[in-house]
Structure 1
Amino acid sequence: MDLPRQFLIREGDLRILNPFSPAKLADLGRVLKLTPGTTLVDFCSGRGEMLCTWARDYGITGVGVDISTTWVSEATQRATELGVSVEFRHGDAATFVSPDKSDIAACIGATWIGDGIEGTIKIIQRSLKPGGMLLIGEPYWRLDPPDQETVTACHMAAKDDLRDLPGLVAHFGDLGYDVVEMMLSNQDDWDRYEAAHWLNIRRWLDANPTDPLHAEMRAELDTAPVSHVRYQRDYLGWGVFALIER
């Protein structure tokens, strides 16, 4: 059980694996009023930057789980580098249940583990203390996509796969949760994230001309920049939403 290599190539050395700046990640911890001893379980924790930097800056503790053996190893190294007491485990986030209930349960940019928001909330809720907080990172339509071409270019199968921002916030309410905070990405956050992929892919292509994935990654780089500026940059939004059950 591991992550396909394409993801590792694309993400390269990025520490935050979503269109979110380090400043916004830090600001999110601040506005959530994190305090020393707060516990967090991070589902699909990636390279562990949220858990590690929040442990450093706000004194939280916790555990992250991810399907990538590479990212779990790098997250563990990051925790050692920052001198923080957090743990990372390799595993399937969809089936993980923390033995100790946490103050916060997070799934940032990976609601595919539950086939959408509702299913993901059910998964991560199992590791949450009563009255605790959920963090969900999720895309939404910034603008109404005019055609299927735009929808497909934004990596969606159908327009209804995403909601607009008011619809997304209302959906959290329909599921029985108050939205108590949010932090939204802007177009510059998207540019920094997506353009970093292009450089990572190009460097990898130059260094690995005979790799079996070379043609696939070359085709991605041929189309990704234009697709981003033509479709994703204007139409696709993303944010992290803090929820408490009503």
Structure 2
Amino acid sequence: MDIPRIFTVTESAHRIHNPFTPEKLATLGAVLRLEPGTRVLDLGSGSGEMLCTWARDYGITGVGVDMSRLFSAQAKRRAEELGVDDRVEFIHGDAAGYVAAEKAGVAACLGATWIGGGVAGTIELLAKSLLPEGILLIGEPYWRQLPPTEEVAGECLAGSISDFLMLPELVGSFGELGYDVVEMVLADQEGWDRYEAAKWLTMRRWLAENPGDDFAKEVRVLLTSEPRRHVTYTREYLGWGVFALMAR
């Protein structure tokens, strides 16, 4: 069980696998008013930066689940580095359908709502692991401005324009599912730059170290095209945010 290789190449140096900066991640923890001992479940936990830094800064405990072998191993090392490996656990496994044995005060999926077949299904999945009056966290893209064509949407790595909503519609959709939006923290263009541009140096160094790898041609194509694609499309059209929800 693992994610496609391209992600373990391009994001191998990332600590955060979404457009949040460390400052935004810290802000999210602060605005949630986390109490020491709060249990957090993170489905699609990547390299574990949210759980590890929140355990260090806010005293939470928790479990992260991710299907990437590399990222799961990095998460465990990060927990040891920050001295919180006694408070957070990382499981290499499929987050789709995962229900925690012990319910959490916060259940999160930041940028991997495919695990539930979309936002609605992911909210339904997370709710199964949540304590009464607990908080759900959904990290999801939205359109900053509507793409004029399906081709432009594709350049933003969307399957179609209909894959994402504008921000007002996305926020409204949570109410239609029976949830109050009680907080939100939005990424900005700097966050997108940190997420996307960091891949380019990683790819360049990987190519230098692996010139004979069968995968090198695909990585070279990406490194050639991605900087221009990002500044032309993703940076201008696509937003991303984390929305804190409580059931009505």
State whether residues 51 and 64 of structure 2, in contact with CA within 8 Å, keep that contact through their aligned partners in structure 1: yes
Q: Look up the match of 2:113.
A: 111
Runs of at least 5 residues in structure 2 that lack an aligned partner in the other structure: none
Using the alignment, how far apart are the partners of 2:200 and 2:192 within structure 1?
A: 13
CA displacement at 1:123 relative to structure 2? 1.3
**With structure 2 as the length reference, what TM-score do the two structures score?**
0.97
Q: Look up the match of 1:165.
A: 167
Using the alignment, how far apart are the partners of 1:158 and 1:28 within structure 2?
A: 29
What count of residue pairs does the alignment treat as equivalent? 246
Using the alignment, how far apart are the partners of 2:114 and 2:167 within structure 1?
A: 19
CA displacement at 1:71 relative to structure 2? 1.3
Using the alignment, how far apart are the partners of 2:12 and 2:64 within structure 1?
A: 20
More off after superposition, 216-225 vs 45-54: 216-225
Using the alignment, how far apart are the partners of 1:63 and 1:100 within structure 2?
A: 10
CA displacement at 1:12 relative to structure 2? 2.2
CA displacement at 1:230 relative to structure 2? 0.8
Using the alignment, how far apart are the partners of 2:16 and 2:159 within structure 1?
A: 26
List aligned pairs for 1:43-82, cutoff 5 A: 43-82=43-82
SS of 1:218 mapped into structure 2: helix
Runs of at least 5 residues in structure 1 that lack an aligned partner in the other structure: none
CA displacement at 1:95 relative to structure 2? 2.0
Q: Look up the match of 1:186.
A: 188
Q: Which amino acid aligns with 1:82?
A: L
Q: What does the per-residue CA deviation read over 1:190-243, in whole Å, with 9 as the maximum and x for residues that have no partner?
A: 111111011111111111111111111111111111111111111000000000
Using the alignment, how far apart are the partners of 1:99 and 1:13 within structure 2?
A: 32
CA displacement at 1:4 relative to structure 2? 1.9
**With structure 1 as the length reference, what TM-score do the two structures score?**
0.98
Q: Look up the match of 2:99.
A: 97
List aligned pairs for 1:1-246, cutoff 5 A: 1-84=1-84, 85-246=87-248
SS of 1:189 mapped into structure 2: helix
SS of 2:168 mapped into structure 1: helix
State whether residues 97 and 116 of structure 2, in contact with CA within 8 Å, keep that contact through their aligned partners in structure 1: no
Q: Which runs of 4+ in 1 moved over 4 A?
A: none
Q: Which amino acid aligns with 1:28?
A: L
State whether residues 111 and 138 of structure 2, in contact with CA within 8 Å, keep that contact through their aligned partners in structure 1: yes
Using the alignment, how far apart are the partners of 1:202 and 1:12 within structure 2?
A: 12
Q: Which amino acid aligns with 1:55?
A: A
- Identical columns (%): 59
Using the alignment, how far apart are the partners of 1:90 and 1:79 within structure 2?
A: 15
Q: Which amino acid aligns with 1:171?
A: S
CA displacement at 1:183 relative to structure 2? 0.4
Using the alignment, how far apart are the partners of 1:12 and 1:75 within structure 2?
A: 12
